[in-house]
Amino acid sequence: MAASPIPNSTLGKKPLVFDLSNLSKPLGTHAQRVLNALSGFEPELPLAVAYSGGADSMALLWACHTKWPSQVRAVHVHHGLQVAADEFVSHAKAFCDSMQIPFAWIKVNAKHAPGQSPEDAARIARYEALAEVLSKEWDHKVKSIALGQHADDQIETLVLALSRGAGLPGLSGMRPQWESAGVCFYRPLLSLSSKDLRACLSELGLTWIEDPSNLDESFTRNKIRARVVPSLLECFPEFGATLARSALHIAQAQGILDEVALGDLELVGNPPQIKKLQTLSVARQGNVLRSWLKLEGCTPSAAQLQELLSQLDACRTRGHRIHIKVGTKMIERQGDCLGLLQ
């Protein structure tokens, strides 16, 4: 099912002149709602905004620039995956020039490796590129960056996680903030819907780019966006808000498990001692082993973890071997402990 055309969007055009006359007028209801979403958002300034030229990031950029004039920068990532990408750069730069917002852009190779999803490849490349730009631009003074993901994106993320049989970390959805490579990443719009953000831009008379690849339903996330999310919101209009609460509860539960795992890791040691592991329940064994492997840069699949637990349970004699591959590493018995080999 194709999306309906959006009058205030552009596709295949270059709107290099922006009508900013509405920005000096009193804010409408929708624009004020977006600005209010930033009321509890207090990042370190100056702040960067990841700006694609699309509606979500444009609404975020406008709101941040309105709240912190002269303290906001815009960063655009050119993924190089479609012909229109050059046009996106031109649109983004033109808008920032018109608003007198400092602008930087970077081109990345977002092609996916064999066995990797295109969406994951693009996401990883994008976050690495954003951190790289902040490490080089604006005298290294920008340490915080805001991202435009919203409530509908959170629904898509959780539906994807459910379809893949994810555990609590996956079901906790997108984090509102985290730190990586010395950069603090924020998602301040998770309480608002895509409809809210587009209504805000329409009130302001701002024109955004509609990415043609978002309509390609060969990508699972796009199919969920086009078919599943509208049906869920039709049946449950407040689904975005209630799902956000559920994601928060799940994240809190995962936090408790992480605390238990740290305590158990102190008990069993690092590397874990086999006999001490066997004194724990199977559930706590799995929890502490996930934590240990995460510290070592490994993420076991459910099947790998189950196999490791089975081998651990059977390891009751001195000569019993443990041997299982996890990611690029091998878990083996090394004396009385578990060890990791490259």
CATH of the domain at 331: 1.20.59
Q: Which of 224, 242, 260 is the last residue of a domain?
A: 242
Tally of domains within the chain = 2
Q: Which of 242, 257, 285 is the last residue of a domain?
A: 242
Are 145 and 50 contacting, i.e. CB atoms less than 8 angstroms apart?
A: yes
Q: For 76, list phi and psi in degrees, rounded to 5.
A: -115, 135
- The verdict on residue 312 lying in a domain is yes
First to last CA, the chain: 47
Same domain, 115 and 188: yes
Task: Give the span between the Cα atoms of 333 and 324, in whole angstroms.
Answer: 10
Task: Give the span between the Cα atoms of 187 and 248, in whole angstroms.
Answer: 14
Check residue 16 and report its DSSP letter.
Answer: -
- The verdict on residue 224 lying in a domain is yes
Same domain, 45 and 166: yes
Same domain, 235 and 283: no
Q: Which of 225, 242, 259 is the last residue of a domain?
A: 242
- The verdict on residue 163 lying in a domain is yes
Higher per-residue confidence, 167 vs 59 = 59
Same domain, 205 and 329: no
Same domain, 289 and 225: no
Asked whether residue 259 carries a pLDDT value surpassing 80, the answer given is yes
Same domain, 131 and 277: no
Same domain, 91 and 220: yes
Task: Give the span between the Cα atoms of 217 and 225, in whole angstroms.
Answer: 9
The pLDDT of 67-76, averaged and rounded, is 96
- The verdict on residue 254 lying in a domain is no
Task: Give the span between the Cα atoms of 147 and 47, in whole angstroms.
Answer: 11
pLDDT for 291: 95
> Hey, which residues does 185 pair with through a beta bridge?
145, 178
Task: Give the span between the Cα atoms of 101 and 88, in whole angstroms.
Answer: 16
Residue type, 180: S
Asked whether residue 150 carries a pLDDT value surpassing 80, the answer given is yes
Same domain, 169 and 310: no
pLDDT for 108: 85
- The verdict on residue 253 lying in a domain is no
Same domain, 62 and 118: yes
Are 289 and 305 contacting, i.e. CB atoms less than 8 angstroms apart?
A: yes
Domain range for 170: 9-242
Same domain, 279 and 149: no
Higher per-residue confidence, 209 vs 114 = 209
Helix pair angle (29-36, 55-67), 10° resolution: 70
pLDDT for 274: 95
Same domain, 166 and 37: yes
What is the per-residue pLDDT across 267-286, written as a single tens digit (0 to 9) for each? Answer: 999 999 999 999 999 999 99
> Hey, which residues does 177 pair with through a beta bridge?
186
Mean pLDDT, the chain, rounded, equals 89
Closest listed residue to residue 122, CA positions, set 221, 1, 17, 248: 221
Asked whether residue 13 carries a pLDDT value surpassing 80, the answer given is no
Asked whether residue 3 carries a pLDDT value surpassing 90, the answer given is no
Same domain, 31 and 67: yes
pTM, two decimals, is 0.84
